[in-house]
Amino acid sequence: MKIRVFSLLLALAILLTGCNLLPDAGEQPREVSESSIWAMDTQMDLRLYGDTDGVVMAELTATLNRLDHTLSATAADSALTALNESGWTDDRDIVYLASNARKISEQTGGALDITLLPVSRLWGFTTGSYGVPAAADLEALRDRVGMDKLSLTDESVSVPAGTKLDFGALAKGYAADLCRARMEEAGLSGLLALGGNIQTVGTKPDGSDWIIGVQDPNDAGRYILTLRLTGSKAAVSSGDYQRYFVQDSVRYCHILDPETLAPVRGSLRSVTVVANEGLLADGLSTALYVLGREAGTELWRQRGNFEAVWIEDDGVVWVTPGLKDRIADGDCQVIEP
């Protein structure tokens, strides 16, 4: 089915990249507080309604800064670096993330793999010294990667020497979950844009839907689809336009296929996942990018706990049926249930 819906309301400027926040009509500025910080390698924009004394904003900022430090794979004194050097941690954020990563990995046939850090390094994604590595150097890393390397208990994570973890695929979603929980506890609504991760929280003061935009992979200043979301939802995009290098006219993106140990090559430009939980949406967006549209569609049919938007390199946009009535603007095809 082909859909084309126009909305004059949405002829508005775009604010951010990835999934994007669009300005709201009729919002009540008196109650709005906004803050932008740099954390977890990205700009984070927080908009809260009703945080009159600024206490919750300060708490969210502290949470994001804590996670930035705990989960840094490059900072010498982070808890993640300690795990990657010693092979053991009882850090509670890392234990929670590792156990949830393992669940999502199992659900996606291993497409999500948090042990690929040495592989990312070899391709230059952690340093910016990009280049296609020698096949032998990649193969030499094989016995250090794989989700079977993780040993988890309720309180700890252990990995063998040489295995190194990276939570880049789901850390921002987890951060959004923690912020959402605190806002809900405080009775606040708002909108969080943590890089390409959007988290809506509660209901806008004027009762209208949240409007988010899905970025055009070819144009950071344009949205290809806009969606109306109700209540607390996470919308997370993974794509080949976010971090990549070009060598010999081939584009190599930062999302790696655990089977080939190489950047994903296929016809997908991006996947956006909409779900109730940020961690799930973030982990799935990365995994669905690895899987491609066909396998991702099959996963949606089996599990049904998320909605998704796939943008193909021919420019066609596919959405799951649950988003059909949520499209505010843009052309798309709806996948068969």
Could you list the residues that contact ligand AMP (CB under 6 A)?
112-114, 116, 120, 166, 168-169, 238, 242, 254-256, 258, 282, 285-286, 290
- Taking the complex as a whole, the smallest distance from the CB of residue 105 to Mg ion amounts, in Å, to 12
Residue 169 vs 198, nearer CB to Mg ion: 169
- Taking the complex as a whole, the smallest distance from the CB of residue 30 to Mg ion amounts, in Å, to 35
Of 119, 137, 106, nearest to 287 by C-alpha is 106
Alpha-carbon span 146 to 149, nearest angstrom: 6
**DSSP bridge pairs for 274:** 235, 307
- Taking the complex as a whole, the smallest distance from the CB of residue 281 to Mg ion amounts, in Å, to 8
- Taking the complex as a whole, the smallest distance from the CB of residue 139 to ligand AMP amounts, in Å, to 18
User: Do residues 283 and 96 lie in contact, with contact meaning Cβ atoms separated by under 8 Å?
Assistant: no
Assess 282 for contact with Mg ion (CB under 5 A). Answer: yes
Q: Which helix (H) or strand (E) holds 5?
A: strand 2-5
Q: Which residue is nearest to ligand AMP (CB)?
A: 168
Report the partner that residue 93 touches, choosing among Mg ion, ligand AMP, none (CB closer than 5 to 8 A by kind).
none
Assess 198 for contact with Mg ion (CB under 5 A). Answer: no
Report the partner that residue 24 touches, choosing among ligand AMP, Mg ion, none (CB closer than 5 to 8 A by kind).
none
Report the partner that residue 258 touches, choosing among Mg ion, ligand AMP, none (CB closer than 5 to 8 A by kind).
ligand AMP
Alpha-carbon span 94 to 83, nearest angstrom: 9
Assess 277 for contact with Mg ion (CB under 5 A). Answer: no
Report the partner that residue 115 touches, choosing among ligand AMP, Mg ion, none (CB closer than 5 to 8 A by kind).
none
- What phi, psi does 298 have (nearest 5°)? -65, -40
Residue 116 vs 309, nearer CB to ligand AMP: 116
User: Do residues 224 and 215 lie in contact, with contact meaning Cβ atoms separated by under 8 Å?
Assistant: yes
- Taking the complex as a whole, the smallest distance from the CB of residue 43 to Mg ion amounts, in Å, to 17
- Interacting residues with Mg ion between 148 and 187 (CB under 5 A): 169
Which ranges constitute the DSSP H helices of 117-163? 117-123, 135-139
Residues 6+ apart with CB under 8 A from 319: 225, 307, 308, 309, 310, 327, 332, 333, 334, 335
- Cα of first residue to Cα of last residue in the chain, in angstroms, is 12
Binding residues for Mg ion, per CB under 5 A?
169, 282, 285-286
